[in-house]
Structure formats: C-alpha cells, structure tokens
Structure 1
Amino acid sequence: MDLKEFLAPPSEVARRTGPQDRIVFSSRVRLARNLRGFPFPGWAKKADRMQVYEKVAGAVAGLPALAGCFCDTLDKLSALERQLLVERHLISREHAARTGGGGVVLNRQETLCLMINEEDHLRMQSLRPGLQLREAWAELDALDSALESHLEYAFSPEYGYLTACPTNVGTGIRVSAMLHLPGLVLTEQINPVIQSVNKLGLAVRGLYGEGTEALGNVFQVSNQMTLGESEQTILEKLDKVLRQIIEFEENARTTLVEKNPKMLFNHIGRAYGILANAHIIASKEAMNMLSLMRLGVDLGMFPGVDRSLTDELFLLIQPAHLQLLHQEKLQAEERDILRADLIRNRLRSVSRPGPPLPAAGSSA
C-alpha cells in the first residue's frame, strides 16, 4: 500500500472541524505500552524489535477499529514519507529517524496512529480536530483494551504500566492540545501564561513537540507526569487549563480589536502584503505570516475567506508536503521560491484585509 495515496489530501485535512477550533487546532491522547518479556527498544537488538513489530502487527490485523489501516515498517518508507507523517503530527521526529524494527499503523480517518518501537514498544495515539480530549480518550481507551486482549503488557501492580522513561510510568498517558495563540503573543501575555501553566505541572512546547519552536504562534500544552493520577484526573485537569487559555486568548483578541486596532491591522496587513507579493519566503517566515492572516480571518478582516485556506497552506508549505506537490527533490532555496509561488497563487483571489470587526473579537 502506498502511504502517499493512503493519506488524506491536505485540503480535506484543513476542512476537519471541531469544538473551539479557531484556537484549538487539535487534541491528542497518547498511551505508552511495552510488551512483557522483551527489552525496551533502546536496549533491544534488531531481531527483538522485529519480533515486537510482528506481534503488534498481528494483533492489529483483527481489530475492527483499524480495519483497512496502513501498516508497515519504517524501513519500507522513504525519508519523504516519514517526514510527511511528522508534518501531520502522526509520528514523532525521533520515530521518523528510527529503522530496524520501527513501524507505523494508521487508520483511514487519521484519528488513530500507532508507533511501534519508538522509545517504547508501542505508542498509540488518538487525534481529533478542536477541543475533543474526552472523545480522543474514549477512542484510544477502547483500542488499548482491544490490544491488551491480544498482547501481554509489561505491568507492575505497584507502579502500573512500565515504560522506558520514568515520567511515563503509571498510566502511560500523555494528553495534549495544539493551540493557536497570536492574541496572547501580540499583547505580550504569552510568557506569564506559559509560566502559570508550568507551575500547574503542565508542559508547553513548540509546533513539533519537545525542543521545537512555537512557529506560527502554535503551542502544545500537555501533562508532564503520569504516575499517581488516574487518566480521568489528568484529562479533567488539562481540559480545565485549556479552557482557561482559550478564554485568555479570546480576551486578548478582544483587547486588540477594541484598544489597539491600528497595531493589529498593521500586523495583519503587513503579513498579507508579504504573503501575497513575496517571491522567496522561508518556512519559518511563512508560518508566522500565515498565523497572522489566520487571526485576520477569525476577526472578520477577510470577508468570504474560510479558515481552511490558511490551515491548508500551513500544511502545504511544509518541506515534505511542498516536495510531494512538485514530485521532485528540492533544495532549500528552491523550496523557498516554490513556497512563495504557491502562496501567491492561492491568495490571488483574496482581497487585502479590511479593519477588524468589533463583534468578531468576542467569545463564541
């Protein structure tokens, strides 16, 4: 099965909607599991990792939730295909770099993805658009229970599920959401918010997780510890914090519209001017400018323009997606030119922004 044909087109991905999706790009729940009797991937020989892959792939084959899924080893995927999965947040950058027993399982809807032999034998995750932590957890919990009837997990009555990293021991759960927070960035409130979130024992990371930048004003918020708290407690805690952040972002946008509309108009107007006219643009600059344009769309400054346009461009301008679009290997300089061409062409029918609409800054 060809992964590039299996993946949904970027236009379809961009049209996926969910609660609070003007601020929350996506919700994710991930579980870390290991198989009893096998060394963890970091210490395992290739033969052990391959045996784990075969066991997991065999268990997956009979599950209704993963009927018609994509399942293969990373060895059989090209570097481009692995990077496509990273850019869609379906696998980690670390997993993309692994071969020799590494594998991936993905359902048709792209809501369920399993990484085999990443840091742990099995890292399964559920992804949903918007703020849907409970829905993602329900789907993943059902999958975990189904798999556990076919696989024997490494489990301690005292500590819970055993994992390669001590911070994942216990429930093995990681709950996170990807947030678009340009209002807090523009009003210079983002650092106090991050500090407050960190004090609550939660982590704030960039676009592609730990050690990455918050490109396009996109931040990931997740729990840090899994031991000593139930899955439900972790979900409720994160959901409460996320709703507070959403309120802060909505209030920041309202403040910008009501008290500093010229500054806001200037930022969004300049972003549109660059995107609509640039002939060379790097990925980082394009992401940051598209973030501001997306904010303008949300604030009614681009009448008739749907948010799916900016969300699709967010994906299409990433290096692997851009390379796939042109069906050839591209150097960085070539990508910067083609990225600018793509954006200019897509914005050709989009008129320059008008002033922000006061009512658009209020909460939905």
Structure 2
Amino acid sequence: MCGQAGSKIADSNEEIEDVEVLWDMLQKGETKSLLKKHLTTEVYEKLKDKKTSLGGTLAQCINSGCKNMHSGVGLYACDPEAYSVFKELFDPLIMDYHKISKVQHPKPDFGDVDNLDFSDLDPSGEVIVSTRVRVGRSHAGYPFPPGSNEQKRREMEANTIKALEKLDGELQGKYFSLETMKKEEEQQLVADHFLFKDDDKCLRSACGYNDWPAGRGIYFSNDKKFLVWINEEDHLRFISMQKGGNLAEVWKRLVKAIKVLEENLTFARDDGHGYLTFCPTNLGTTCRASVHIKVPKLSKAPRENGEPGSRLDEVCEKFNLQPRGIHGEHTESVGGVYDISNKRRMGLTEIEALMEMKNGILEIMTIEKELE
C-alpha cells in the first residue's frame, strides 16, 4: 500500500508483473472487462515484446486490469506512444468504449466563448447545486504513471508551476504541494471536492500512486473557481467550477486558462486520438462537464419503456450522459442529488460535448418539474 497524502514518500510502489504472468491471470480470471474482450491470443503474441521509445511495455498497460477482475475497462496507457505502438489492442477497445466506428478525432474547438447561446441553466438556483467542467492534459515527452518516477514527477510539477505563474486576473492563485500540506487542510479540501485522494484500487495497480505524494499538488485561484491537479491520474487536470448553474461562466473561465497554459506547456496529442491521457476512456476532448443536480423524483420514477432502472437512467442514455453519486464514480446519491456529466469524449469537439451535456440537463430539469 502506498502512503496517505501528507505522509512521507511511499516506501513501497506497485510492482509490474511479468507479461506472461499477467496474461495467465487474465485467461484464468472471470471478468467482463474490455481488456479481456480485446486482448486476444493473436494480439497478445504480436504485442507482448514491443516497447515504446520511452521504455513502455504491454505489461505496464495491462497490469491493473489483470489484477482487478472487477474492472470495466482494465487498460491504461504506459505513455503517449502506447496508443500507436500497441494500437492493435487500444484502437478496438477505444472504438468499443466510445461507440465510434473509427479512431478519428476532430481538431479542438471550444466555440465562440464571447457569444455562447447559453448562460445560467438554473436562474432560480433551486435545482442545480453546482457546475463543473474539467479537462485532462499530458506533458509531451513524459511517461504516464507506470513508466514514471519521482524525478520525472518533480520535473513536471516544476514546469507546471512556472506556467501557472502566467495566469492573472480571476485565474491568479497559489500552488499547494501535497508533501507540505497540513493533514487538516488536505481533509478539508477533499471534503469540499477540491482535492484528489489515493484510494482507487484500479489506479493503484496501474502505478497511479507510486512515490505518493511526491510531485503532486493542487493550484487554485483566489476564489477557488479554477483548479489544477498535478500528477493525480493524468499529469494535469484543469477544473473550472462554481455554485449554481451558470455554465457559460464556468466554460469561459476554463477556456481562458487552457489558452494561457497552452502557450507555456506542450501537451501530448495526435490527430487520431485527440489529447492523449493515461486512461483511454478520457481521450479526445478529455472534457467532462457536469452538474450536481437535485432530481429526487426522476431518480425514483421507473423507466417509461418498462425496463429495469430509473427514468433518470433512461434520459441520461438518450443524451449520452453519465449519472454518478456526488462523491464520484461508484458512489450513491445523497438526498436525491446526482453528479451528471457527458459520457462521450471522442469523435466530437469540446463545444459539442458541452452542448450535449447542456441539452440533456435541460430535459432532465423539465421532466423533474413535470413529475411534481
């Protein structure tokens, strides 16, 4: 087990098993993961001895999925090159997960932020508790967690801090290292949904918490409406958030920050996959736009088609949305409040992903009101 945040650097890191041992585990284990589905004998034999220029291996990519049979996906990229070196595995899995017929992604398009056709989705302030949009980014030329080490993490941290110093106005703020943060501060930031933790079993097996908490920390603007996570799952997560439903304000703030940081950092990206991330589920736009929304009636109402599940699930599926508990994936709702976000990341632009979420949320709000 890795050490907890705020403690000394972990003495024990996750070990990558030999690829043949992992292959044997996958064959004997009972799992419905996409890794098991797409890592056929033919693909395994073709890829098992390949390496990226950064030294990345197939074993690093599949270590977590072979050790966690409950995983739905089970595959992580060892570094940005993994998507090309191990494409015979990644591409079919990506197409399966993202429901696309070809690994192809459009150029970035954040829309005309000065003339958006939406603003506050809930002017009354009675339904939407908060709004949040985040994107992931990876430093070009650096490995993902399985191939990284303390030195590389500290280099990425230092480079990012220099770039963050270029932010001004509402984006200006301060960086806080997990290594020096007081335990009370850390616990409060986690409780406020600002800070990440080291408690995901699958991510741990993917070396996501190696050298914890070295090279990791959080930047937030003075008003805490813009955040940057450094060396959590991805190298970087940029997050814009605020109370209420003013999606336009949240989006404009995020896009402004991205443009400044892109001038000072180089991010890993290719024309087929879009922005490259550690987990293939986050490729493409890497954009997750979400609201914490009160839907106590919709979440309890049965589906109109009579199938198992709630009316909320039915509407979310229609708009490619993903409902979660307010504490993240695999958690339960509290008081009828759900975290609802766009599910699609690939094959559409950033503004299209945002609009898909917006349209779905507006319909959810309409139906919730009709059920009164």
TM-score, L = length of structure 2: 0.59
Give secondary structure in 1 for the equivalent of 2:298. Answer: helix
1:132 aligns with 2:246: yes
Which of 27, 36, 43 matches 2:140?
Answer: 36
CA–CA distance in structure 2, aligned partners of residues 193 and 68 of structure 1: 38
Deviation, 1:185, is 4.6
- % identity of equivalent residues: 30
Alpha-carbon contact 2:277-2:283 (below 8 Å) kept: yes
Q: Which has the higher helix share?
A: 1
Separation in 1 of the partners of 2:368 and 2:182? 39
C-alpha deviation, 1:62, in angstroms: 2.1
Quick one: structure 1 residues 95 and 230, their matched pair in 2 at CA, closer, same or farther if it must change by over 3 Å?
farther
Instruction: Kindly indicate whether residue 173 of structure 2 is the aligned counterpart of residue 54 of structure 1.
Output: no
2:327 equivalent to 1:208: yes
CA distance in 1, matches of 2:226, 2:123: 19
Q: 3-state DSSP class of the match of 2:323?
A: strand
Q: Contact 1:24 / 1:131 at 8 angstroms: preserved in 2?
A: yes
User: Which residue in 2 is equivalent to 1:286?
Assistant: none
SS at match of 1:31: strand
Q: Is the 8 A contact 2:319 2:356 kept in 1?
A: no
Match of 1:153 among 267, 283, 286: 267
2:226 pairs with 1:118: no
- CA distance in structure 1 between the partners assigned to 2:137 and 2:332 by the alignment: 28
Is residue 248 from structure 1 mapped to residue 367 from structure 2 by the alignment?
yes
The correspondence of residues 282-293 of structure 1 with structure 2, limited to 5 A, is none
Measured after TM superposition, the shift of residue 84 of structure 1 is: 1.5
Query: Is 2:288 the partner of 1:174?
Result: yes
Match of 2:311 in 1: 192
Q: Tell me if 1:85 matches 2:189.
A: yes
Shift of 1:184: 3.1
Q: Counterparts in 2 of 1:1-364, with a 5 A limit?
A: 19-65=123-169, 68-94=172-198, 98-185=212-299, 191-252=310-371, 254=372
For residues 361 and 354 of structure 2, what CA distance do their matches in structure 1 show? Answer: 10
Distance of aligned partners of 1:185 and 1:157 in 2 relative to their CA distance in 1, 3 Å threshold: closer
**RMSD between aligned alpha carbons?**
2.3
Distance 1:66 1:221 in 2: 26
Letter in 1 for 2:369: E
What SS is found at the alignment partner of 1:80? helix
AA in 2 matched with 1:81:
E
Task: Provide the rounded CA distance (Å) in 1 between the counterparts of 2:195 and 2:126.
Answer: 24
For the 8 Å contact 2:166–2:260, the answer to whether it is kept is no
* Cα distance, 1:101 vs structure 2: 1.1
1:95–1:118 Cα contact (<8 Å) kept: no
Say if 2:171 and 2:226, in contact at 8 Å, map to a contact too. no
Residue identity matched to 1:141: V
Partner of 1:76: helix, strand, or coil? Answer: coil
Q: Which runs of 5+ in 1 are unaligned?
A: 1-16, 255-364
Equivalenced residues, count:
237
TM superposition shift of 1:68? 4.9
Give 2:362's aligned amino acid.
R
Cα gap change, 1:65 to 1:115, in 2 (>3 Å)? farther
| Superposed displacement of residue 153, structure 1 | 0.7
Q: Rate the CA distance shift 1:106–1:40 in 2: closer, same or farther, 3 A.
A: same
What displacement does 1:245 show?
A: 1.0
Q: Displacement of 1:158 after TM fit?
A: 2.6
Please give the alpha-carbon distance, in whole angstroms, between the structure 2 residues aligned to 1:62 and 1:30.
Answer: 20
Q: Does the Cα contact within 8 Å between 2:283 and 2:346 map onto a contact in 1?
A: yes
SS in 1 for 2:148: coil
